[in-house]
Amino acid sequence: MLAPQANGTARVTVVVTQVILTFATMHLAMRFASSVQKVLVEDSIEPVACITSLLLSATAVQMIADSLPDFVRTWG
C-alpha cells in the first residue's frame, strides 16, 4: 500500500516491513487460535469462518480488478 509512494531503499524497507508485519500477525493468529476457539462457542465459529472467507474472496477479486487494466494494456 505504501510501497508505490516510496523510492529506492525506502521502498525496499516498506515492503520488508509489511512482510514482517504480515508474518507476525499470522503467527499471533495461529498461536492464539486454540484460545480463541475455547472462548467462542461452537455456533459462533461458523459465522466467523464465513466472514473470513468472504473477506479473502473480496481481496482476491480486488487484486484481479486492479491488475486487469495493466494486463489488457500489455496483451490487448
Shared domain for 23 and 50, answered yes or no, is no
Q: What is the pLDDT of residue 20?
A: 96
Q: Average pLDDT, whole number, for the chain?
A: 86
In a domain, 11, yes or no: yes
Shared domain for 27 and 56, answered yes or no, is no
Shared domain for 27 and 50, answered yes or no, is no
In a domain, 36, yes or no: no
The answer on pLDDT for 3 being more than 60 is no
Nearest one of 24, 2, 22, 23 to 12, comparing CA atoms: 2
Range of the domain at 20: 1-31
Question: What is the pTM assigned to this prediction?
Answer: 0.51
Tens digits of residue pLDDT in 22-42: 999 999 989 998 888 888 777
Q: How does DSSP classify residue 76? A: -
* Residue predicted with more confidence, 15 or 53: 53
Shared domain for 52 and 73, answered yes or no, is yes
